[in-house]
DNA sequence: GTAATAGTGTCTTTCAGACAGTATGAC
DNA sequence: GTCATACTGTCTGAAAGACACTATTAC
């Protein structure tokens, strides 16, 4: 009798659990990489517990335990609460964070490993031109749009597809990564662990981890444009081209060399070390990040037309 | 015996509670306003419960119950977890949202009311020039900076104050509202309910509600620059000047009239209704928001220098 | 020399910022 | 007419975008 009451109590009180999830990004050899566990099928994560001093501290502990990897820069991504995420009436709240580091060798004694993020989102890499997957994707998305019930819905779907994937003269916008994933999900075109799909579009992950990764990609692609966060991913010394390759890796697009240089130079964020690289071709000068300059004077984006006052 | 075990269980399992907090903004008569309860000392909030379909849905219910006010646009702001927020070992997780609406008359039968947000942050309104509070604030902040232990700390503090408050030739950046509040908090210059401070800088709120409001202000001030969210705050028909006044209210700064017009026009987000206002002076044309144009083709901010491919 | 990669000079177009002007109503 | 507010035309200078060219190494 008392036993059942206790069990009911447990159920009533433990229905909501809080989980911390990490999207840890590095750039290595021109590839943006994400730290995964379980053979590349999940992001590092774990419950938020009373021992944790804060959300960030808790996450750092979990990542360290699961991947033997210490973290630098972190920022909060998003908080998800989805009843549908589990089959029972249990509810999960997931608080996700985006972390930036430099890639260390895969940690021993764990199942952690770095994966190119384009493994999960092959359509997001346009550095070598429009990837082949896009043929299948557009065909299937068009079919999905045409299958809507009303004419209004059909045109709405076509419109969304057009904008998200840059079709019919709309230009590609790398920041729409999350929207693209969302669209493919709605159209039933992405398989996740336990959920099949007719078209194989990228490698699956557990639960909504791939969605969270897409959220991280979108955030990072937006952020590199107005805050000097790329440097968190660079070694202490690097050439101009190294830096460009890193940004290109994240954005999934090629950049204009001279204009990229000019952009970086006028921000005065880097300084020469005096050293040079050596190898095939002309040696390149090495630079280092001037971390001391990063006061919070954001390179505030498109501005309002202020009056002189 | 069983009783104690049960109590322990309750305590063990209920240590973490989840709270939803809303920053609801409207603009009225040139003032940005925030929806408050308890005589302007708190933001609408309530626990996240199993009946709630989602975080957003739960928040909408709480706001409706506490303020009799239905909401339109909403987005997630931030998730806070702070052990220090309560005196016990209990832990609160607060998930905050930013909502935009038009102001309705204060709801009857509740203690809800709209407050100008500059009531809580008087230093954030620069439309009529630099407000008087700034004299006291800079004096006190300088004193705080000088009181640091080491010369390094002193210079760091001075630097932060300079940038956040736009002193010594640094220009004012309205998006740093949260940083400014944070700085004043660190310096012990903002009083909150139960926490006194030597300098009265704006009206206090319970817990960290004022901090959450500052987060909302910062988010909104950044967002109006690259997404057409102002229109959520406008009546169905409005003049160009109405629109400008609304943006000015949010930004806390005056804008350049002609350039503002040009900016809005080239975005093609509004259309004439054919109607005009009447009153003193030349009648102004009325416009309406073309909601159908708001596909997610963000006016993406400062761009990367893309290659032609 | 050639191949390969690093780095510079400068032209053009676009657009933000600022100027000063004209238009249309109430009285 | 005056006063008050709404609206327009256009100059200027600073960047964004694009062009082609020169420099320094390994072999």
Q: pLDDT of A159-177, one tens digit each?
A: 999 989 988 878 889 999 9
What is the pLDDT at residue B118? Answer: 95
B204 CB contacts (<8 Å, ≥6 apart)?
B41, B190, B191, B192, B193, B195, B210
What is the pLDDT at residue A86? Answer: 46
Distance CA B23, CA A40 (A): 39
Which has more pLDDT, B153 or B109?
B153
Q: Which residues of chain A have pLDDT under 70?
A: 1-15, 83-90, 105-109, 193-200, 295-302, 308-309
Q: For residues A260 and B306, is the Cβ–Cβ distance under 8 A?
A: no
- Give A278's strand partners: none
Task: Give the pLDDT band (50/70/90) at residue B280.
Answer: confident
| Interface contact B306-A260, CB threshold 8 A | no
A202 CB contacts (<8 Å, ≥6 apart)?
A119, A120, A121, A122, A123, A190, A210
Hey, of B53, B81, B176, B178, which one would you mutate to test binding to chain A, going by the most A CBs within 10 A of its CB? B81
Residue B87: is its pLDDT beyond 50? no
Please identify which residue in the block is written with the tokens 């049960």: B6
What is the pLDDT at residue A46? Answer: 80
Residues of B in contact with A53 (CB under 8 A): 83
What is the pLDDT at residue A304? Answer: 79
Q: pLDDT of A29-42, one tens digit each?
A: 889 999 998 888 89
Handedness of CA A257, A261, A263, A264 (dihedral sign): positive
CA dihedral of residues A153, A156, A162, A168 (deg, nearest 10)? 90
Distance CA A212, CA A204 (A): 12
Hey, of A301, A303, A308, which one would you mutate to test binding to chain B, going by the most B CBs within 10 A of its CB? A301
Taking the CA of residue B147 and the nearest CA in chain A, the distance in Å comes to 21
Neighbour tally for B130: CB within 10 Å: 14
Hey, of B3, B79, B125, which one would you mutate to test binding to chain A, going by the most A CBs within 10 A of its CB? B79
| Interface contact B254-A307, CB threshold 8 A | yes
Identify protein residues whose C-beta is within 7 angstroms of any atom in strand C.
A 239-241, 257-258, 261, 277, 280-285, 302-303, 305-308; B 256, 258-259, 262-263, 266, 278-283
Task: Give the pLDDT band (50/70/90) at residue B158.
Answer: very high
Residue B107: is its pLDDT beyond 50? yes
Instruction: Identify nearest nucleotide to residue A283 by CA to C1′ distance.
Output: D25
| Interface contact B255-A306, CB threshold 8 A | yes
Strands, E, within chain A: which ranges? 16-28, 31-36, 45-47, 73-82, 91-100, 113-116, 270-276, 285-289
| Interface contact B304-A160, CB threshold 8 A | no
Identify protein residues whose C-beta is within 7 angstroms of any atom in strand D.
A 256, 258-259, 262-263, 266, 278-283; B 239-241, 257-258, 261, 276-277, 280-285, 302-303, 305-308
Residue B49: is its pLDDT beyond 80? no
Q: What are phi and psi of B286, to 5 degrees?
A: -100, 145
Between the two ends of chain A, the Cα-to-Cα distance in Å is 75
User: Nearest chain B Cα to A82, which residue?
Assistant: B54
Q: Helix or strand or coil: residue A217?
A: helix
Closest alpha carbon to C1' of C3, residue: A281
Please identify which residue in the block is written with the tokens 């992950």: A205
Taking the CA of residue A46 and the nearest CA in chain B, the distance in Å comes to 16
A267-272 LR contacts (CB < 8 Å, sep 24+): A267/A228, A267/A299, A268/A293, A269/A228, A269/A231, A269/A293, A269/A294, A270/A243
Q: For residues A278 and A151, is the Cβ–Cβ distance under 8 A?
A: no
**pTM (2 d.p.):** 0.89
Work out the average pLDDT over B255-261: 91
* DSSP structure class, residue A114: E
User: Nearest chain B Cα to A296, which residue?
Assistant: B163
What is the pLDDT at residue B192? Answer: 75
Distance CA B224, CA A304 (A): 9
Distance CA B81, CA B286 (A): 46
């Amino acid at each position: 009798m008392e036993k059942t009451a206790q069990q009911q109590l447990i159920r009533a009180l433990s229905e909501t659990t809080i989980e911390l999830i990490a999207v840890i990004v590095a750039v290595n050899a021109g590839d943006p990489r994400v730290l995964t566990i379980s053979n590349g099928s999940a992001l590092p994560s774990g419950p938020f517990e009373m021992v944790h001093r804060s959300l960030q501290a808790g996450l750092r502990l979990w990542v360290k335990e699961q991947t033997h990897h210490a973290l630098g820069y972190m920022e909060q991504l998003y908080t998800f609460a989805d009843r549908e995420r589990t089959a029972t009436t249990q509810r999960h709240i997931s608080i996700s964070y985006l972390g930036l580091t430099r890639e260390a060798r895969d940690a021993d004694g764990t199942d952690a490993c770095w994966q190119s993020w384009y493994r999960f989102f092959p359509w997001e890499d346009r550095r070598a031109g429009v990837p082949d997957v896009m043929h299948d994707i557009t065909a299937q998305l068009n079919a999905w749009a045409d299958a809507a019930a009303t004419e209004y819905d059909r045109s709405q779907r076509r419109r969304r597809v057009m904008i998200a994937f840059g079709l019919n003269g709309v230009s590609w916008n790398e920041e729409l990564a999350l929207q693209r994933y969302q669209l493919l999900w709605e159209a039933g075109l992405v398989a996740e662990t336990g959920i099949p799909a007719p078209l194989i579009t990228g490698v699956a992950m557990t639960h909504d981890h791939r969605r969270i990764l897409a959220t991280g990609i979108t955030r990072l692609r937006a952020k590199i444009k107005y805050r000097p966060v790329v440097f968190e991913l660079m070694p202490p010394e690097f050439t101009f081209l190294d830096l460009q390759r890193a940004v290109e890796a994240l954005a999934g697009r090629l950049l204009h060399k001279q204009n990229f240089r000019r952009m970086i130079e006028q921000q005065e964020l880097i300084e020469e070390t005096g050293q040079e690289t050596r190898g095939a071709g002309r040696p390149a000068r090495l630079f280092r990040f001037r971390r001391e300059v990063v006061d919070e004077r954001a390179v505030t984006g498109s501005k309002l037309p202020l009056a002189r006052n």
